[in-house]
Amino acid sequence: MERMRDFLNMRGLVAVVFFMNACSGTAATATQSATQARRVVHEGPPIDAIATLSGSSDEGSWIVPGPIALEVGGTPIEAPAKNEPIAVTLIEEQGSVVRIGVRLDEVRFAVWTERARLLAITNREELVHQRPGGGEFVDLSQGSLVQASLKAGARVRRLAHKDHWTQVRYYGSLEITGWLPDAVLVDRAPFRDSIGRIPSGRQVLMVTPGAVIRAEPRWTARELAVMATGYFLETIREIDDAWVEVSYEDGEVLAHGYVSKRDPPGRVHRLRGSDAVIAPPPPPNAIGTSGTCLYSRESGEPIGYLVGDQHVYVEASPHAGWYLLSVNTPWGPIAFAAHGSASGTQPADFVACAPPGTVPPTASQLPASVP
């Protein structure tokens, strides 16, 4: 038990600030931060996390990894150093925090995290504008629109808000920063397969990360996009020794502009996840049966269940019938509470709460093999 307590204490040495619902009496400025953007939250009755986790997974949301908690106000659990967004199900929200469902092959569970870590998703194709309200000059002289636009399903991080517009940043092969109408952004959308660069048949131009695509062939022109993780653009025509008219398209973004062979590289941002160093998980010492119920704490709310029989680390609680059951997740090992009938130091059987037909049968439920 001491080993598990040390492990949990090590993970608990992080700030708890984000789980406090902040209230401010100051007047809103013309431009607000994304986390302060006007938003009416209708908090209804508690939602059954188990039922939500067992429902359809065709639609979902994305978050940037960061601290989570099993309960509102609970001890934060830090995330390992990781910046890639995680697919989740948005369950409910309370002020500045949201409850999300995490569906893994081995386990499903619900946790709370900052709403600011929730990525917005575009629900239609839209030009990315230089300022709220749009209205900037658009060059139509070349027959096709000089632009940077995001297609439906692109995931963006909210940066600021003004009136009915949100400043966003898109992270992909290209990085694009600008303003979109609020009506274009949603918190959840159908999951889509990722589509890489779409070749047009034109000559390929190889560039390095940091190459800036501009609205006009001059270095003071407006920045449309920056090459972030990709290397290939497509040449439309060479303007002179320095400038090339280029295009780029993939499943989420479309860009058409001008890139210089002599421009210094532009700044490339990264989705900032967590810099935490997580202790290695304890070695498995038991098998948790399929459907085993995972609780937020002893006698707490059921917030998840195992999917299939899983190797887990189990340690008895001081309270009869309760155990700490550690499962590996994108946040590292998380110790949930589990309830079962005691047999020495290990449970003879864990209480299950997975709805019928939602998880594979346990080994004991499978028919005996015929010799």
The string of pLDDT tens digits covering residues 174-204 is: 999 999 999 999 999 998 888 999 999 999 9
What token pair was written down for 39? 């938003």
What is the pairing mode between strands 243-249 and 59-63? unpaired
Distance CA 64, CA 168 (A): 14
The string of pLDDT tens digits covering residues 154-175 is: 999 999 999 999 999 999 999 9
Most confident of the following: 46-60, 149-163, 332-346: 149-163
If one compares 49 and 192, the residue with the highest pLDDT of the two is 49
Residue 371 has pLDDT above 70, yes or no: no
If one compares 14 and 184, the residue with the highest pLDDT of the two is 184
The pLDDT assigned to 341 comes to 73
91-116 in b/e form (b: 16+ CB < 10 A) is: bbbeebbbbbbbbeeebbbbbbbbbb
Distance CA 123, CA 121 (A): 6
The pLDDT assigned to 1 comes to 47
Distance CA 35, CA 114 (A): 9
What token pair was written down for 95? 């002020």
Most confident of the following: 79-88, 170-179, 274-283, 336-345: 170-179
Which pLDDT band holds residue 25 (cuts at 50, 70, 90)? very low
Which stretches within the chain are classed as H helix?
2-11, 49-53
Q: What share of the chain is helix, strand, coil (3-state, %, to 5)?
A: 10, 40, 50
Distance CA 278, CA 13 (A): 11
